[in-house]
Structure 1
Amino acid sequence: MAIFVLVAGAWLGSWAWDDVVPTLREAGHEALPLTLSGLAEKRAVPAGQQTHVRDIVDEVERLDLRDVVLVGHSYSGIPVGQAAELLGDRLARVVFVDSNVPADGASFVSTWWEGPAKLEAAIAGNGGSWAPLTAVDCEGQGLTDEQTARLVGGATPHPGDSLAEPAVLARPLGELPATYIKCLLDGAEPNDDVAALLTSEQWRLVEMDTGHWPMFSQPYELAQLLLEAAR
């Protein structure tokens, strides 16, 4: 039995995995969705990026979990990648779902595709947090109107400190056993940093014909890919 620890991306909490968890459990595995500090029901908790790394590691150690398949979506791939290194033999595999990946000394802001200054200004202009996504942000991502409304309606501001704090890696990320799930409506090819990691024999690439939030647009299909990754 694998134990899936599921961490959603920016603005989202454990609730984002509600449609994925049942399929994993019906297949005989455990699934533990995790809300990071500063988000959803933990919105009042101050959080930097290393807080998020500790959120993940502390939960795994507190529950004494083994055979962990650690899943990170979007932003959370950055703390998930760092946490995966710290789990040692508790980790079975890490799965990055259309996510960012950590680079030692780099932050989410520093690698922002539109340039760091633009994201820094957006965070500063929103009182130190990244304003939640809107329905416009979801266009072209394979979501129904109902799915979009649920995603946008549940989103909360994302703590800016977690986006600005640099990642810390003890060893090359390519040494981890990893699967990268690329959602094609969000770009046909992985980013250059991911493409470089995919040259490792430890990494696998899987594609989904959907948008950036597959836990909403194709939850059953995503769960099946997670089950395959755990085999």
Structure 2
Amino acid sequence: MADFVLVAGAWLGSWAWDEVVPPLRAAGHGACPLTLSGLAEKRGVPAGQQTHVRDIVDEIERRDLREVVLVGHSYSGIPVGQAAERVGDRLARVVFVDSEVPVDGGSFASGWWQGRAAFEAVLADNDGYWPPLGPADLDGQGLTDEQIARLVQGSTPHPAATLTEPAVLTRSLAELPATYIKCLLDGPEPNDTVAGLLTSDHWRLVTMDTGHWPMLSQPAELARILLAEAG
């Protein structure tokens, strides 16, 4: 059976997976939702990009997990992608959920749609944090009012260094066994980097007809997909 390690994106903690974990465990798999340093109940813990990579690798090694399906959502695809190549034969598959992917020497900020300088200005204006989204920012993402409230209330400011420090890769992500889940309400096509990786025989694409936070908007369907990818 697989051991799922679930890592949510910016602002979020392990709580974001509360409705995904039970069906994974009911199917006989392990499920370990992980809060990264500096977020949620770990708010205030100093963290950079490589801290988050170590958080993931250390959790896998500490628990001696095998047949790991490593799941990264949104921002966390960047540390998850780096961790995936560092855990060796413990990895069964990596699943990127509507996420960024690491580019060697690049950061989340360097891929920002308005440019790195604009993103870094936001961080500087907020005391070195990326402020969470408000309810108006979550329109059109397939979330109910209750789900939006839960997302907003559960979010914490995201530490800047995790977003601006560069990723470190020792080989191409195209060599990893990977699945990319594209959430169509957040845009119909993966970004150019992901599109290139999807040409690899080791990668496959799955789509969901929901927004950027499927663990909240469609947790049962996300769990079904994850179980299929572990098969």
Shorter-chain-normalised TM-score: which range? over 0.9
Where do residues 77-116 of structure 1 align in structure 2 (5 Å cutoff)?
A: 77-116=77-116
Q: Which residue of 2 aligns with 1:49?
A: 49
Cα shift readout 1:40-72 (whole Å, capped 9, x = no counterpart): 000110000000000000010011110000000
Letter of the 2:144 counterpart: T
Question: How far apart, in 2, do the equivalents of 1:3 and 1:134 lie?
Answer: 33
Is it true that 1:39 corresponds to 2:70 in the alignment?
no
Q: Which residue of 1 aligns with 2:228?
A: 228
Structure 1 moving runs of 4+ over 3 Å: none
Question: How far apart, in 2, do the equivalents of 1:206 and 1:129 lie?
Answer: 32
Q: Which residue of 2 aligns with 1:216?
A: 216
Q: Secondary structure of 1:79's partner?
A: helix
Question: How far apart, in 1, do the equivalents of 2:90 and 2:222 lie?
Answer: 23
Question: How far apart, in 2, do the equivalents of 1:215 and 1:135 lie?
Answer: 17
Cα shift readout 1:134-178 (whole Å, capped 9, x = no counterpart): 111111000000000000110000000000000000000000000
CA RMSD of aligned residues (A): 0.5
Letter of the 1:198 counterpart: L
Letter of the 2:2 counterpart: A
* TM-fit CA distance, 1:113: 1.1
Q: Which residue of 2 aligns with 1:156?
A: 156
Q: Which residue of 2 aligns with 1:24?
A: 24
Q: Secondary structure of 1:5's partner?
A: strand
* TM-fit CA distance, 1:130: 0.3
Q: Secondary structure of 1:86's partner?
A: coil
Is it true that 1:180 corresponds to 2:174 in the alignment?
no
Question: How far apart, in 2, do the equivalents of 1:137 and 1:98 lie?
Answer: 17
* TM-fit CA distance, 1:115: 1.3
Q: Which residue of 2 aligns with 1:140?
A: 140
Question: How far apart, in 1, do the equivalents of 2:63 and 2:137 lie?
Answer: 36
Q: Which residue of 2 aligns with 1:127?
A: 127
Letter of the 1:95 counterpart: V
Letter of the 1:46 counterpart: P
Letter of the 1:15 counterpart: W
Letter of the 1:87 counterpart: V
Aligned residues: 231
Letter of the 2:215 counterpart: M
* TM-fit CA distance, 1:116: 1.1
Q: Secondary structure of 2:182's partner?
A: strand
Question: How far apart, in 1, do the equivalents of 2:226 and 2:31 lie?
Answer: 11
Letter of the 1:225 counterpart: I
Letter of the 1:169 counterpart: L
Question: How far apart, in 1, do the equivalents of 2:89 and 2:219 lie?
Answer: 29
Question: How far apart, in 1, do the equivalents of 2:213 and 2:137 lie?
Answer: 11
Question: How far apart, in 2, do the equivalents of 1:51 and 1:155 lie?
Answer: 20
* TM-fit CA distance, 1:203: 0.1
Question: How far apart, in 2, do the equivalents of 1:138 and 1:69 lie?
Answer: 28
Letter of the 2:175 counterpart: E
Question: How far apart, in 2, do the equivalents of 1:126 and 1:60 lie?
Answer: 33
